[in-house]
Amino acid sequence: QKAEWKQLKDAKSVTADGKQFILGANIGTPKDVEGANDNGAEAVGLFRSEFLYMDSSELPSEEDQFKAYKQAVEGLSGRQVVVRTMDIGGDKELPYLPLPEEMNPFLGYRAIRISLDKQDIFRTQLRALLRASHYGQLAIMFPMIATVKEFKAAKAIYEEERAKLIAAGTPVADHIEVGMMMEIPAAAMIADKLAKYSDFFSIGTNDLIQYSMAADRGNEHVSYLYQPYNPSILRLIKNIIDASHAEGKWTGMCGEMAGDQVAVPILTGLGLDEFSMSATSILKTRSLMKKLDTTKMSELAQKAVTECETTEEVVALVKEYTK
Ligand code: PEP
Ligand code: MG
C-alpha cells in the first residue's frame, strides 16, 4: 500500500471519473516545505504564521517575516501558498504581548480581533507578506472572521499597505488572492454575503466544530461532541462551498477533517475544491480519491446532508457508498 502511495507523489489528484481536486499541505514553518514537497503537495493550503510570533522573545520584524514567507513561496516553486495572518490568542499566548485575563479565551480577544485592534502589528505582517508575494504564488487569509464588517476592515488595511508599497516602488505581485478562514458559525451562515468580498474560503473545521457544538476542542469531557460528520457540520460546510461557487470563488478546507478518510468521500461529493492537511496524509488521500466516483459521492453527500440524523448514520452511509 505504501509503495502505491509513493507512486502518486507526482500524480494529479483525480477521482475515478476524472474530476480534479487540489491536495495541499498545512505547514507551521518554512522548514516544513520539504515535507510538503516530499509528499506531493500541490499547494500549501495553510501556513500558520504563529511560529514567527511564538518562537521569539519579541515581535518579529518585518524583515524576519519577509524572509520566512519568501522562503516558503520559493520552496513551493509557483504552487500556491496560503499564509494565514496572526492567529494568536485562544490557547496561544505571547510572553511579550500581554493579553487580558479572560473567562473564555476561545471566545475572546484573538486572531483578527487582535490584528484589527493592534494595527501596527497587523500592518507589519501585511507588508512582509506583500513583499514576499513577488517571489512566488502567495495568498493571504484572515483567521476568525465573524462578520462582513471585519473582513472589509481587514481588507481595507491590506489595500492601504499595498498602495503604499507600490507608491514606494517596492515589487509586489499583480494579483494576490485575499480570503478568510471559515471557522465561526455566524460567518458560515452568511457565506453568500462574505463570498462577494472574499476571494476564497478556507474551512477551519477544528474551530468550526468547536464553536458549532459549543464544545471546547481540547476538553476530553466533551470530546464526544467533536463530530465532524454530524449533519449540522455538513450543512454548514455545504452552505460555505455552494456560496463560494455561486460567486465564482473557491473553497478549501484546512482543518483536520480535510484529511479524514471518512470525510473525504463526502467532501468530494460536496465539491470542496482544495483539501489541505498534514503532509503525511496527502498520498493516502490521493489514493482514496482515485477510487471515488463524483456522481456517486454527490448522491452520498446529498443524503448525508438531508436525510441523516446522526454521525453514526452518516458513517454507515459512507461505508455503504465506498465499499
Ligand atoms: C481550524 O480551526 O480548523 C484551523 C485550521 O486552525 P487552527 O487549528 O490553527 O485553529
Ligand atoms: Mg482555527
The predicted pLDDT at position 314 comes to: 98
pLDDT at 48 over 80: yes
Burial 67-93 (b: 16+ CB within 10 A, else e): bbbbbbbebbeebbbbbbbbbbbbebe
Q: How much distance in Å is there from the Cα of 296 to the middle of ligand 2?
A: 31
Q: What is the pLDDT of residues 7-31, one digit of tens each?
A: 999 999 999 999 999 999 999 999 9
> What pLDDT was estimated at residue 91?
77
Residue whose C-alpha cell is 498520498? 283
What number does the ligand 1 atom closest to the CA of 202 have?
Answer: 5
DSSP string for residues in 243-304: HHHHTT-EEEE-SGGGG-TTHHHHHHHHT--EEEE-GGGHHHHHHHHHT--HHHHHHHHHHH
Over the stretch 154-201, which tens digit does the pLDDT of each residue have? Answer: 999 999 999 999 999 999 999 999 999 999 999 999 999 999 999 999
Report how far residue 2's alpha carbon sits from residue 259's, in angstroms, rounded to the nearest whole number: 17
Q: Which ligand is nearest to the CA of 45?
A: 1
Atom of ligand 1 nearest to the CA of 257: 3
Res. 220 pLDDT band, cuts 50 70 90: very high
State pTM to two decimals: 0.97
Does residue 111 register a pLDDT over 80? yes
Question: E strands, 92-248, where?
Answer: 137-142, 178-182, 200-203
Catalytic site includes residue 254:
yes
Q: Which three cell numbers stand for residue 121?
A: 502589528
- Whole-number pLDDT of residue 55: 82
**322 pLDDT higher than 80:** yes
Q: Is the pLDDT of residue 288 over 80?
A: yes
| Residues contacting ligand 1 via CB (< 6 Å) | 46, 48, 87, 183, 204-207, 254-255
Say how many Å lie between the CA of residue 124 and the centre of ligand 2: 22
Mean of pLDDT values over 229-240: 98
